[in-house]
Structure 1
Amino acid sequence: MKKISIMMAMLFFALILQAQNMQDLIAKAGDSKTFPKSDVVVIFDSTSVEMQATGLSYYQMHKLVKILTLQGAKQNHIVKVGYDPLSAYVEIQKVIIHKANGDTKTIENPVLDYAAPARAIYWGAREKMIEVGRLEPGDALEIITFKKGYTYALLQGASDDDNDKYIPPMRGHFYDIVPFWSNEPILEKTYVLSIPKDKMLQYEIFYGELTSKLQFQGERIEYIFTKRNIMPAERESGMVSKNNVNTKLLMSTSPDWYAKGKWFYTVNEDYDAFTPTQEVQEFVNELLKGSKTELDSISVLTHWVADNMRYSGISMGEGEGFTLHNAEMNFTDRCGVCKDKASLLISFLRAAGFESYAAMTMAGERIDDVPADQFNHSVTVVKRRNGDYQLLDPTWVPGVRELWSSAEQQQGYLMGLPDGADLMYTPISPPENHYVRINGKSKLDKAGLLKGSFTITAEGQSDASVRRVFSGLRTEWDKNLEKELLNLHPNARLTKVTHTDNDKYLEEPVSITYHYEIPDYAFVGANEIIFTPPMASGVFKRAMAHLYTNTAAENKKFGFKDRCSRLVEINEEVELPKYDEALPLPTADKVSSEYVSFDGGYELNGKKLQFSETISLGKRVYEAEEWPEYRQAVLNQNHFADQKIILKK
């Protein structure tokens, strides 16, 4: 096994040498009074990395954790390290308990190696674990681990050198993403990287500051990064990823995004991932018989893959990382993860005569501008006749009328093109592309019985949300439709419902028309009638994710997310029973900003009560300073849902 250099070891243990002994460090670290909201405190967390010319890297990790509470003791009674045996080798080298009374105990229990728990993706990930046993507050756990390799698996050619499979996908290069944030306090975190002098490293520190130092060691350069007194990362409801607001270090020896994009293209073409088989060619020819336009063909192929290839990642041996499985495997199995669905669509498009390639993206998190591997999702791009590239995502659009899910707007992506490509971001999708329109008409009688009807139509991501009432068994559809009505009132009775053909979802947006009656909908007293118009009180909230937003905080420190941009338009006319006077109708102030607007209210003309409201939410990811307007729009809609109309007899 490769041994870390003497100088690296000296740097690695420099923190320990600053104190007289380990017990001094532990005693000075504080206790539950010092960190009242934490179960543990990490006294130090040190990582030293030695990169070889091939890109093979050796990691030595050393960590000291002090237990503050019984819950912290419970959470740390085992030490666990996850890894992928196709791309990494790990060892738990030493675990020592430093007891509060000054005693030390080296754990001699066997290290177990077992298959990691998995769901949906079964790629052979494993975990190594050693049982520590009972800990008490005041004890400290010292853990020394070793790793060689990287975090992604890639198909490699056969080799007699066992270390070859641990060389990263871009051979000869190094990349890492190091979070200098934590959910528990860290007194000191250090990361040391030693690379050959001829390797050009670019790095950047995002969302904070680190102490950094560079020093030359013969034919190598060492980069040292340190941060002290790291407090637990703050949380806010609905906030963007913690990696987008807390300090992190990005490093890469890749010269730019173009180099990474070209590599991604080359590695998959060399593997021959996308060449359609004769069976695929014949199948595509049959699928496209009714297509009349370029977009028709793209849509047919995208939605066939989206709807007919099951999302389930089974282990197929070497090749589970960036290399996309080939057409024969994907078409035969019709089962895989995002990269397999993307790969089959590329094969289909090439069979249809299109120029098509794979792309990488990062769902749920911003890609910052250093060409490290900030990717967790694979998609497809197709070149249109006008020369523009169009993004397609067969993973995120099953049953969705879009070709690229707008739940992925404002998301970074990198295309794997022959000449490479720069990092790009998906544009904002206008809210009118994702409208929800509800139009209702009802009549309230003097006994409180409400009879009426309403029609809901939707498009884009809102269409997909409404359409989920048709998910599952067809025999359950009527029950699902009725549940939406029962959300209005437990006494609601569905008298008739009609809807568009869900099997033909690509032909037209969803439309559902309800006819209903609700006995005792209004409270009828001796002198008054009290009720809320049903469309104002809320129906099909499943298509209005913003209504589930926690609006308790008046301001936010961090950016926040919605599911998608969205336009909601609600209109209802209620015919009223005889009354003498209406008390003042509920009102709400307008909201108007670049990306958020709200307008709505009541009009009363004799026995006709008209309610209308329009909410426009213009994007998916918002800045913290946009929260007041967004919050007010949500509060306004909920305000009308909660307020009562009071008619005096």
Structure 2
Amino acid sequence: MSQRHLPALALSLLFVLSALQPFSPSAFSSPLPPLDTVTTERYPDADSVLVDEIIRTRYAADGSAFTRAETFVKILTEKGLRENRTHSMAYNIFYENTVVTLARIIHPDGTATPIDIAANTKEMTNRRSMAANIYDPNNKILTLALPGLKVGDTLHIVKETTTKRPRMKDTFCDWQSFESTSPIIRSTYEVRGPKDKPLAATAILDKNDDTLTAATRIEGDEIIHTWTARNVPQAFPEPSMPAFYICTQRLLVSTVATWEEVSKWYSSICEPHLASTPEIDAKVAELIAPPAGSTAPLTDDEKIRRVFRFVSQEIRYMGITLEKDSPGFEPHDVSLTFNNRYGVCRDKAALLVTMLRAAGFDAAPVLINAGPLVDPEVPKIYFNHAVTAVRLADGTDILMDSTDENTADLFPSYLANKSYLVARAEGDTLRVSPVAPAEENMLRAATRITIADDGSATGDITLDFSGINDNAYRGSFARAKPEDIRRWLETLLKNQIPGATLTAHEITPRNAMDTTRPLHAAISFSAPDYFTVAREKTILNTPWFGADFSIASRFLGNGTALAKRRFPLEIPYTCGLDETLTLNLPPRIGDTLALPDETRVELPAVTYEKTFTRNKNVITGKLAMRLRAPAWPRANPTRNSRTPSRTSSIPTASPPCSPPNPKRNSPPTSAPSTTNSPSRSTTRTTGRAAAPSASKCSPTRAKKITPKSSSTTTPSGKPSRSTTPPSRSRTAARAPSPPRKSTSWTPPGLPAPRATPPQKPWSSRSPASRKARQSTPKSPPPTKTNPGSPSRSPILVSIPSTPTHSPSTPPPA
């Protein structure tokens, strides 16, 4: 047996021998509440209730740990039953092992039916990352089926996780959620550690009134911290809110005192792999050489872009995670990536660092969380993606994501407002990536329609994409077949103008991977019956094709209807739409009987304006919308006030705000690759706030995965590899299934997927936590703050049998 495993095995044996009895149900700090009092009458909005839970963790100085989690969840409805029929736990066997030691169903009459764990569990390799061309044989999923579970039953599960080694050497960090979409009657989290390796920082964030208490005691050579939550009300998700686990009552603990320690650690595991080679140096010299026939040297910006474009487009995104020391974080040697012409995010970021250094720039690898902002109060390694930074003379950083081969920008907008940490030998602090103005992520559209006297029409549409719109559609167009694009455009046309026929279309540049030229589309169409006459009147359709294409319109209205919010309104990225619609009317059209009312909405993060005017026989409509901020502030700051309590001073980074959704290669269609967040991820099946999930390209900490549907949508294209903080969060983070292969092309520009919460393997706690992730609230009916669909703006005009005025005479208003 390997000596490196002995500390973890000894720790788990010590923990079991010394603390086995307290884990029995009868040994809880106070007796379980009578299960017959947990009813739908008492909890009318709940599908399940977390009746009781106790999680105990003992860690050693080297970061190894043993955790045992015991939960009781009562099922109240059929939905709660569906959510809890199976429990899945994801973990990485390089770092930890997870087992279910007890599973039984307690019936309303007090009898209990044990579950045959061996017969009802199945372990298999996690296929989630394979859809992103990443194979990690260490990533496993353990699924437990619960046959015979019925409404009214109580599910009793005990899980144990042994952390053989931490992601970051000699450290321990964890997080715990104490709020869920299910009521929590009682939940206890206890962590034991040696006196010579105490917790350096702890924080309780978004505290929910007085539902959480804390206590600390010393026993021998150990310090024991205990947090207990009682009678925590059910939380109700809101449309377009950030990841549930980042907005609700939670606890963070860590033996790491400063972010500089994490920065130094990541630098130490990357630098040995960054040595350049003569072949790499020669390639860099070729890339930054002046163009043929010119003696003028390239500017720094041109050099950076040329090197970036090579790594982005010439190094394929794929890999096998078989690193020796820190799988998921540690890059391969850059020479291997360069020669093979492939790698995952950390490999491509490392190669870009080496090549930029060869070009004379101060470059460094960067850990970034392509999801919710990281809570800066407690240092940890919950990151799920790797990018590159170049430090300028003034101390600022230029960030670039070479993972995305479709972007015309060095740093795509979908990575704005994300927490990142530059790996420096001297250390660096946690920072937040800048947010580009909406004007840099625009779609500009113009539609011109000429209507004939017989009611037929011809028209043309021009679309100019920039920023996030360019990135989204460029990647989708590059992967799609021409016939698929044509069919999709025809569908959009017919949705706006029934019976319309696509007569021509052109998308430039023809090579979608030519990111030096902006994306442009030109579309022509005809429609045989644009209007029909009834009683000398007709309604003219006003098709807003740009709104169908625009990324901004996909988010507008989703959640803006709530007059009051507890949670922030999340907007994945700033973006906007400017569209002009011109209708050239035939002489037959008479007076305008009704034009749509002007619509103007001014909100803190959103502006929307739609107007119509008529001048002679030309009707002009203008539509402008801007999503200017990644998130609106929460409506009730008192209810969600942060109350951090630290045992050591922590460097403060930009204050956290609601995070935007993660994205990756094709922004709206894929999520970023990760370099893995560590720590024993354990999420329970309870309805707690879902925690961040482990990344595909990085080691996945053991996490709880809820089977079947997940509230995190995985965009088409490369799957999201987001892996976030691990820790046992009772919100069972279920891993999103890989995207299914479809025979038809998926339209581009889909909203970014929601961040997967941190997952703790050993605690697939109560189904309640799974509910927190799964619940996808329906958007409430639109109000005046919700502009609604811009395409529904009909114009009523008269069609007299004899024209009442000549075309040259302006019609009456």
Q: Does 1:506 align with 2:520?
A: no
Corresponding residue number in structure 1 for 2:304: 298
**1:564–1:620 contact (8 Å) kept in structure 2:** yes
1:207 Cα deviation from its structure 2 partner: 0.9
1:554 Cα deviation from its structure 2 partner: 3.9
Q: Does 1:562 align with 2:576?
A: no
Pair 1:71–1:508, CA change in 2 (3 A): closer
Equivalent in 200, 209, 214 of residue 212 of structure 1 = 214
Q: Does 1:581 align with 2:591?
A: yes
Equivalent in 360, 384, 387 of residue 379 of structure 1 = 387
User: Which structure features the higher share of helix residues?
Assistant: 1
**2:509–2:520 contact (8 Å) kept in structure 1:** no
CA deviation vs aligned residue, 1:10-57 (integer Å, no higher than 9, x gap): 76569744566xxx6453551344334444332211111112122211
Corresponding residue number in structure 1 for 2:196: 198
Equivalent in 572, 580, 585 of residue 571 of structure 1 = 580
**1:363–1:377 contact (8 Å) kept in structure 2:** yes
1:208 Cα deviation from its structure 2 partner: 1.4
- Structure 1 gap segments, 5+ residues each: 150-165
Q: Does 1:353 align with 2:366?
A: no
Corresponding residue number in structure 1 for 2:260: 258
Pair 1:75–1:313, CA change in 2 (3 A): farther
1:131 Cα deviation from its structure 2 partner: 5.0
Pair 1:468–1:313, CA change in 2 (3 A): closer
Spell out the pairing of 1:449-598 with structure 2 (5 A cutoff): 449-467=456-474, 470-476=477-483, 477-503=485-511, 505-535=514-544, 538-541=547-550, 544-547=553-556, 549=558, 552-578=561-587, 579-598=589-608
Q: Does 1:142 align with 2:156?
A: yes
**1:110–1:130 contact (8 Å) kept in structure 2:** no
Equivalent in 790, 795, 804 of residue 644 of structure 1 = 795
Q: Does 1:406 align with 2:442?
A: no
Alpha-carbon separation, structure 2, partners of 1:601 and 1:473: 35
Corresponding residue number in structure 2 for 1:607: 617
**2:552–2:625 contact (8 Å) kept in structure 1:** no
**1:193–1:224 contact (8 Å) kept in structure 2:** yes
Alpha-carbon separation, structure 2, partners of 1:440 and 1:70: 49
**Secondary structure of 1:53's partner?**
coil
Pair 1:571–1:253, CA change in 2 (3 A): same
1:502 Cα deviation from its structure 2 partner: 4.0
Alpha-carbon separation, structure 2, partners of 1:42 and 1:76: 12
1:473 Cα deviation from its structure 2 partner: 4.4
Aligned letter for 1:644? I
**1:80–1:128 contact (8 Å) kept in structure 2:** yes
Aligned letter for 1:257? W
Pair 1:574–1:145, CA change in 2 (3 A): closer
Aligned letter for 1:305? V
Corresponding residue number in structure 1 for 2:276: 276
**1:565–1:619 contact (8 Å) kept in structure 2:** yes
**Secondary structure of 1:283's partner?**
helix
**Secondary structure of 2:123's partner?**
strand
Equivalent in 245, 248, 253 of residue 246 of structure 1 = 248
Spell out the pairing of 1:383-394 with structure 2 (5 A cutoff): 383-384=391-392, 387-394=395-402
1:632 Cα deviation from its structure 2 partner: 7.5
> What's the % identity of the aligned pairs?
25
**Secondary structure of 1:559's partner?**
coil
Structure of greater relative contact order (alpha carbons < 8 Å, 6+ residues apart): 2
Corresponding residue number in structure 1 for 2:135: 122
**Secondary structure of 1:471's partner?**
helix
**2:102–2:158 contact (8 Å) kept in structure 1:** yes
Aligned letter for 2:577? V
Q: Does 1:4 align with 2:12?
A: no
TM-score by length of structure 2 reads 0.71
Pair 1:522–1:557, CA change in 2 (3 A): farther
Alpha-carbon separation, structure 2, partners of 1:593 and 1:104: 55
**Secondary structure of 2:108's partner?**
coil
Which stretch of the first structure deviates more once superposed, 70-79 or 189-198? 70-79
1:479 Cα deviation from its structure 2 partner: 4.4
TM-score by length of structure 1 reads 0.87
**Secondary structure of 1:110's partner?**
helix
Spell out the pairing of 1:312-323 with structure 2 (5 A cutoff): 312-318=318-324, 319-323=326-330
**2:447–2:545 contact (8 Å) kept in structure 1:** no
Pair 1:548–1:435, CA change in 2 (3 A): same
1:368 Cα deviation from its structure 2 partner: 0.8
**2:274–2:350 contact (8 Å) kept in structure 1:** yes
Aligned letter for 1:525? A
Pair 1:545–1:49, CA change in 2 (3 A): same
**Secondary structure of 1:590's partner?**
strand
Alpha-carbon separation, structure 1, partners of 2:451 and 2:91: 64
Pair 1:64–1:499, CA change in 2 (3 A): closer
Pair 1:7–1:25, CA change in 2 (3 A): farther
**1:446–1:524 contact (8 Å) kept in structure 2:** no
1:99 Cα deviation from its structure 2 partner: 3.7
**2:59–2:65 contact (8 Å) kept in structure 1:** yes
Pair 1:289–1:113, CA change in 2 (3 A): farther
Alpha-carbon separation, structure 1, partners of 2:97 and 2:128: 23
RMSD: 3.1
**2:542–2:794 contact (8 Å) kept in structure 1:** no
Which stretch of the first structure deviates more once superposed, 107-116 or 56-65? 107-116
User: Whose radius of gyration is greater, 1 or 2?
Assistant: 1
1:423 Cα deviation from its structure 2 partner: 1.0
Equivalent in 46, 60, 75 of residue 54 of structure 2 = 46
CA deviation vs aligned residue, 1:164-190 (integer Å, no higher than 9, x gap): xx2323333211121122343332111
Alpha-carbon separation, structure 1, partners of 2:494 and 2:307: 38
**2:182–2:234 contact (8 Å) kept in structure 1:** yes
1:264 Cα deviation from its structure 2 partner: 1.2
**Secondary structure of 1:622's partner?**
coil
Aligned letter for 2:798? L
Aligned letter for 2:185? L
1:130 Cα deviation from its structure 2 partner: 5.1
**2:542–2:793 contact (8 Å) kept in structure 1:** no
Alpha-carbon separation, structure 2, partners of 1:575 and 1:225: 69
Which stretch of the first structure deviates more once superposed, 489-498 or 294-303? 489-498
Corresponding residue number in structure 2 for 1:161: none
**1:311–1:337 contact (8 Å) kept in structure 2:** yes
CA deviation vs aligned residue, 1:203-228 (integer Å, no higher than 9, x gap): 00011142101111122211100111
**1:187–1:228 contact (8 Å) kept in structure 2:** yes
Pair 1:141–1:500, CA change in 2 (3 A): closer
**1:573–1:610 contact (8 Å) kept in structure 2:** yes
Alpha-carbon separation, structure 2, partners of 1:539 and 1:79: 39
Aligned letter for 1:315? T
Equivalent in 187, 200, 221 of residue 189 of structure 1 = 187
**1:339–1:378 contact (8 Å) kept in structure 2:** yes
**2:547–2:790 contact (8 Å) kept in structure 1:** no
